[in-house]
Structure 1
Amino acid sequence: MENGNVNITLPDGSVRSFENPVSGAELAADIGPGLAKAALALRIDGEMRDLKTVLTTDTTVEIVTTKEEGDEVLELIRHDAAHVLAEAVKELYPETQVTIGPAIEDGFYYDFAREKPFTPEDLEKIEKRMHDIVDRDESIDREEWDRDDAVKFFRDQGEEYKAEIIASIPADQPIGIYKQGDFQDLCRGPHLPSTKKLGHAFKLMKLAGAYWRGDSNNEMLQRVYGTAWRTEKELKAYLNRLEEAERRDHRKLGREMDLFHMQEEAVGMVFWHPQGWTVYRTLESYIRNKLEKAGYEEVKTPQLVDRKLWEASGHWDKFRENMYTTESEERTFALKPMNCPCHVQIFNQGITSYRDLPLRMAEFGSCHRYEPSGALHGIMRVRGFTQDDAHIFCTEDQIASETEIFCDLLMDIYKDFGFTKVRVKFSDRPDVRAGDDATWNKSEGALKEAVEAAGLEYTMNPGEGAFYGPKLEFVLTDAIGRDWQCGTLQVDFVLPERLNANYIGEDGAKHRPVMLHRAIFGSMERFIGILIEEYAGRFPLWLSPTQVVVATITGDADQYARKVLDACEARGLRAKLDIRNEKINLKVREHSLAKVPALLVAGAREAEESTISVRRLGEKHQKVMGLEEALDALVEEARVPGT
């Protein structure tokens, strides 16, 4: 501040000076009427703040508008939508108590305490009232209250839950209260300047139950979920995406295609049917071939291991609540939740020289982890799963080159499945971790150097590393724009130290290897679920469990159809025969529902001319081809990538 002026530096480097303190709204108006109309909030020295914030000192300011892409604006909009939802509920159902209402991925929710359950009809009324509140253009204003005054106010209003939250805040901290119309709510902010700025691109989605503060010993509340976006176009696109996701739901398609099922007697475990197991084995064979060519050696380790090993590795202390255990002969054993400690046991057998490094050890490891039943989701989130796991034991000097080799392999594999958009997240040290800060500094520095050497851009994912080391997370974007975190690479200096792994260096002394934990699919089950939804069940021919069905039009073609089936099987195609006494339209419909990619239709004419009518999944018309020509084309299409 010079000569009493307030100097505001804008993102383009220009500076605007004001004789007196100025609000963000006044700053936007000074820049131009268009910006004043579009302005939602401020970013002051990088921190999002209310547009009405008064600027009293020289500072750097950015005006935030709906045109800005990214999560921060969406979070601001969704947070306001939650407050408007609460206001609407209080107006319509005054006896209801409001509790907590945050923004979440793709939307928002608010938990309410109300004796009478909300109904779908109630949601329609609430949503309509929310639109009314937006149209009222109510000013949203922040006030700071004394903690005890705020507790008394909300208790007097009958808002016991809100009062309980405020009472848990230290008495010397000011309480942020946002007011819009006659509604007040506790909040840190920031918020939009008025309800009108929210717009109408929101929709209430569903009702659910939720315990107060997430504790099953507390009262059950009613949770109302909604979604909110910058524009109605974005909202419509999201709702269309939800419809498409429902159509592609792997649980529904898994039933229709007879791939797998799950049942209460084995919660979170998969019963693979012949069709699904064929997909599984094909995928396993594919990745095994890739790993062999990349210099990996495959191993197999026990599923049940004494707790002593898990204590030594640190998993018992950091991961115990997710482990299944059993007692035998006065010893405690755990089903392995991961393969890493067992791989170190193989590494520790005999003497390893620096000349043997890097050593790439792979396993299709069967693992078990306890997941709360509410978190389970088809084969995407299970309790029993198989990792396409591997550990690379190497020297510190080899971290960068091994990271680059792995990233190239991973990207090549994803490309074979049509995933060309892959984002990389760098997850650093979590709060609960093994190893000292010096070790973490070294491992994080080594991984950053390695990923940069591999030429990969990445974003930070703070605090989400494994307890033993930082990791890269590889996030795929599927056909309808959803993100899936699959592959990982972790740098670990901790486990080799804890489990006393050594190699003999060029100097003849013992040295600790570095351990790179890596996976590409993540788990076989989850990746198959992702593929089912990516392809909407229409697997590429090489991955399809039944590649060809030979179907007859009349019984006169049965013998020829059997000959065609034999020819398919002789050429290595996974084929089935359908000579039922049913109309061909019924057969086509049934095999289309089962997502069979190729239907070879045989009638009397085809039998006479040694041809076949080829009908491909999703196509209305069929093509008559010579049998050998048709088989040649199918065999070529069914070739496994990389073979």
Structure 2
Amino acid sequence: MCRCLVCTRHKAGAWYAPGCEERIVMNIVLPDHSQKNLPEHASVFDLAQSISPALAKAALGGQVNGALVDLSCELHDGDEVTILTDKSKEALDLLRHSSAHVLAHALKDLYGDVKFGVGPAVEGGFYYDVELDHSISVDDLEHIEERMAQLVHDALPFKREVVSRDEALKLFADQPFKCELIRELPENETITTYTVGTFRDLCRGPHVPDTSKIGAFKLTKVAGAYWRGDAENKQLQRIYGTAFFKKRDLDSYLTTLAEAEKRDHRKLGKDLGIYMMSDMAGAGLPLYLPKGAQVIRILESWLRKELYARGYKEVITPHIYKADVWKTSGHYDFYHDNMYFFKVNEGTDEQPRYSEYGVKPMNCPGHVMLYANSIHSYKDLPVRFFEFGTVYRHEMSGAVHGLMRARGFTQDDAHLFCRKDQIVDEVAAILDLMDTVMSEFGFTYEAEISTRPEKSIGSDAMWEQAETALKKACELRKLPYEINEGDGAFYGPKIDIKVRDAIGRMWQCSTVQVDFNLPERFNITYRSADNTEERPFMLHRALFGSIERFLGILIEHYAGALPLWLAPTQVVILPIADRHKQAAHDIAKQLTDHGGRVEVYEQNEPMRIKIAKAQTSKVPYMIVLGDKELETNTISVRERSEGDLGSWPVEKLAAILQAAQK
């Protein structure tokens, strides 16, 4: 390959050297839409070098036509290329994926015979799944990190190589998990390996140029993980880590991680008496204790009032339907593996007649059937149905995670049927309601509009109108949005709302989805002003998303200290002695009559134990009741964050509780 110097006499940056007859054959498009002329076979690194030596030194990889690539990736005429440095958001994936390979190299060096699963970059870091005789514990992580640090110091290059299927199977003959992956690759798939030091891995890449580019890293925890997330497979050891280019970023992340661990809804949910899990019940199926049930009912009641005020009609649909419903909706073909199906004998023992039923993973078909139950005029639209509907989805047991990802959960689901000229106003109204919900909990949020994917249904005109309507609705609400090209569902575009919690984490919550599919499949219509049958547009929307998940987010957002109006117990009364118990119950009744949720701790326990119990339960108000309070007809009040508030008349606290009701 020609290695001419970049011509310094031409602003276009053409490659030139006296006597060189190599012709410029490629135009490469840069992010600012300017172009660079490069010779055939030039790489991403060559492009960086042609721009400046400083950029070449800082370059970690590239983005070619939207895809992440190594610096060695060969370019072609017309490619749109971005050079990635440590300031590029996308470069973190390169760094973390490369760190996973360094982790695997260290494990191989330290423990010898290791069977490797997969080691991807994930949100917040990376992991590697491995099988080995030694049981890795947190005590081993420091030792593994030391070996990783040496590998980073050695500046080992990452070398990519394309291999045939047979070569790959020979290379990884002693790696059963890798061989399984190789055998499942499509026939025309390009198979690549990456070698760093003495460790060679089956990998698509890309990676940073060498290990010295890996900045600050930390191994964070060890967990069990079934191979490919399937409980029927072997359980491997999963070692988690994270990596950043700068140590200060790592330190900041670890501080957030420690705070997140303290806020873990699974621990707090148990401490607060919100919910429990049972192996007997099954993975991903939360059981709500009285306090948890109360919080959920308060949330639902509050949102229900808002929905009634905004013209929604509540409906209730079954948990199961005959398979015919799911065949009509398309779920039977496209979502079958995520559903639970069973047979029902609808005949007799002598003459059995079996029908197949499916447990609902979504509420939509029921709402469509309810719409179809009546004849609708254009004057009737929009029709807004809502339901707190419990659904069930077959998530892999390795994927379930407390309330955040469950197999059984309740959605605050709504489906709106409207004319095309109503879409903008209806979506804007949904966004207004979403803002009301998120503002109540102090969430800031971001919007993302996902557009038409490669495989989709519906005409170009329908998609253009729907996408334009979503954008106009956001603009009407003055809601900034990002475009997520090609990530809409096959049946329509959507708006996703991501909220930021108290420690800066982003969570996916509300969704507004346009659906061209179900109205067509269920053949629903309305009578237009021209007296013709027209197909309504259907909008799916959820504000909490999953109530379970939203509750988990709230627990972590508030570190368990739910706001006064939502706290399952708002006040605990601590009588100092037995002679104060009756007065405690009298005060409890007075507060309850004003809408308060009150408990009396009358167990025969030391006062310090009662106080500690109330603090652990994150109760907003604590009342200590003794002789002094009875004599002065007052209560001694302590607020969970402000501490001792002194002596109050009961009426003052009663008024606060009454005002807090939603």
Does the TM-score normalized on the shorter chain lie above 0.5? yes
Q: Match of 1:585?
A: 608
Q: Secondary structure at the match of 1:201?
A: strand
Q: Is the contact between residue 427 and residue 472 of structure 1 (CA under 8 Å) also seen in structure 2?
A: no
Q: Match of 1:314?
A: 330
1:590-632 per-residue CA deviation (whole Å, 9 max, x = no partner) reads: 1111111001222222222222221011344332223323333
Of 348, 355, 380, the match for 2:404: 380
Of 176, 189, 193, the match for 2:205: 189
1:380-400 per-residue CA deviation (whole Å, 9 max, x = no partner) reads: 322332221111111112112
Q: Which amino acid aligns with 1:505?
A: S
In structure 2, the CA distance between the partners of 1:356 and 1:166, relative to structure 1 (3 Å rule), is: closer
TM-score between the two structures when normalised by the length of structure 1: 0.87
In structure 2, the CA distance between the partners of 1:630 and 1:303, relative to structure 1 (3 Å rule), is: closer
Q: Match of 1:81?
A: 99
Q: Match of 1:328?
A: 345
In structure 2, the CA distance between the partners of 1:582 and 1:206, relative to structure 1 (3 Å rule), is: closer
Q: Match of 1:244?
A: 259
Q: Is the contact between residue 580 and residue 627 of structure 2 (CA under 8 Å) also seen in structure 1?
A: yes
Q: 2 CA distance for matches of 1:9 and 1:370?
A: 45
Q: Is the contact between residue 443 and residue 492 of structure 1 (CA under 8 Å) also seen in structure 2?
A: no
In structure 2, the CA distance between the partners of 1:279 and 1:26, relative to structure 1 (3 Å rule), is: same
1:297-350 per-residue CA deviation (whole Å, 9 max, x = no partner) reads: 112222232222222222222223313434131323333222222222222223
Q: Is the contact between residue 425 and residue 474 of structure 1 (CA under 8 Å) also seen in structure 2?
A: no
Q: 1 CA distance for matches of 2:558 and 2:576?
A: 29
Q: Indicate the percent of aligned positions where both proteins have the same amino acid.
A: 42
Q: Match of 2:514?
A: 491
Q: 2 CA distance for matches of 1:332 and 1:54?
A: 54
Q: Which amino acid aligns with 1:591?
A: A
Q: Match of 2:216?
A: 200
Q: Match of 1:298?
A: 314
CA RMSD after TM alignment: 3.3
Q: Which amino acid aligns with 2:661?
A: R
Q: Is the contact between residue 102 and residue 151 of structure 2 (CA under 8 Å) also seen in structure 1?
A: yes
TM alignment of 1:247-262, pairs within 5 A: 247-262=262-277
Q: 1 CA distance for matches of 2:330 and 2:188?
A: 40
Q: 2 CA distance for matches of 1:96 and 1:222?
A: 11
Q: Is the contact between residue 598 and residue 614 of structure 1 (CA under 8 Å) also seen in structure 2?
A: yes
Q: Secondary structure at the match of 2:444?
A: coil
Q: Which amino acid aligns with 1:247?
A: K
The CA deviation at 1:294 is 0.7
Q: Is the contact between residue 430 and residue 465 of structure 1 (CA under 8 Å) also seen in structure 2?
A: no
Q: 1 CA distance for matches of 2:325 and 2:44?
A: 59
Q: Is the contact between residue 145 and residue 177 of structure 1 (CA under 8 Å) also seen in structure 2?
A: yes
Q: Is the contact between residue 386 and residue 414 of structure 2 (CA under 8 Å) also seen in structure 1?
A: yes
Q: Which amino acid aligns with 2:342?
A: T
Q: Match of 2:300?
A: 284
Q: Match of 1:476?
A: 499
For structure 2, which runs of at least 5 residues remain unmatched after alignment? Answer: 1-13, 17-21, 347-352
Q: Match of 1:503?
A: 526
Q: 1 CA distance for matches of 2:61 and 2:534?
A: 55
Q: 1 CA distance for matches of 2:178 and 2:137?
A: 24
Q: Which amino acid aligns with 2:444?
A: T
Q: 2 CA distance for matches of 1:199 and 1:266?
A: 45
Of 526, 529, 537, the match for 2:560: 537
In structure 2, the CA distance between the partners of 1:114 and 1:256, relative to structure 1 (3 Å rule), is: closer
Of 571, 576, 585, the match for 2:594: 571
1:142-192 per-residue CA deviation (whole Å, 9 max, x = no partner) reads: 45556655655555xx55665676677789887544343344344443322
Q: 2 CA distance for matches of 1:442 and 1:505?
A: 19
Q: Which amino acid aligns with 1:51?
A: L
Q: Match of 1:41?
A: 61
Q: Match of 2:472?
A: 453
Q: 1 CA distance for matches of 2:184 and 2:486?
A: 26
The CA deviation at 1:15 is 7.5
Aligned length: 629
In structure 2, the CA distance between the partners of 1:389 and 1:195, relative to structure 1 (3 Å rule), is: same
Q: Is the contact between residue 151 and residue 164 of structure 1 (CA under 8 Å) also seen in structure 2?
A: no
Q: Secondary structure at the match of 2:398?
A: helix
Q: Which amino acid aligns with 1:50?
A: D
1:539-586 per-residue CA deviation (whole Å, 9 max, x = no partner) reads: 111111111122223445444433322321222211222344444332
Q: Match of 2:623?
A: 600
Q: 1 CA distance for matches of 2:498 and 2:101?
A: 32
The CA deviation at 1:639 is 3.3
TM alignment of 1:619-638, pairs within 5 A: 619-636=642-659, 638=660
Q: 1 CA distance for matches of 2:136 and 2:578?
A: 59
The CA deviation at 1:377 is 2.3
Name whichever of 3-12 and 542-551 sits farther off. Answer: 3-12
The CA deviation at 1:496 is 1.7
Q: Match of 1:129?
A: 147
For structure 1, which runs of at least 5 residues remain unmatched after alignment? Answer: none
The CA deviation at 1:53 is 5.4
Q: 2 CA distance for matches of 1:92 and 1:302?
A: 56
Q: 2 CA distance for matches of 1:494 and 1:600?
A: 57
The CA deviation at 1:418 is 1.3
The CA deviation at 1:286 is 0.3
The CA deviation at 1:292 is 0.7
Q: Match of 1:444?
A: 463
Q: Secondary structure at the match of 1:236?
A: helix
Q: Secondary structure at the match of 1:521?
A: strand
Q: 2 CA distance for matches of 1:169 and 1:272?
A: 43
Q: 2 CA distance for matches of 1:259 and 1:592?
A: 16
The CA deviation at 1:117 is 4.4
Q: Secondary structure at the match of 2:335?
A: helix
1:50 paired to 2:67: no
Q: Secondary structure at the match of 1:355?
A: coil
Q: Which amino acid aligns with 1:603?
A: G
TM-score between the two structures when normalised by the length of structure 2: 0.85
Q: Secondary structure at the match of 1:300?
A: coil
1:235 paired to 2:250: yes
The CA deviation at 1:356 is 0.6
Q: Which amino acid aligns with 2:307?
A: L
Q: Secondary structure at the match of 2:221?
A: strand
Q: Match of 2:388?
A: 364
In structure 2, the CA distance between the partners of 1:579 and 1:140, relative to structure 1 (3 Å rule), is: closer
Q: Is the contact between residue 457 and residue 516 of structure 2 (CA under 8 Å) also seen in structure 1?
A: no
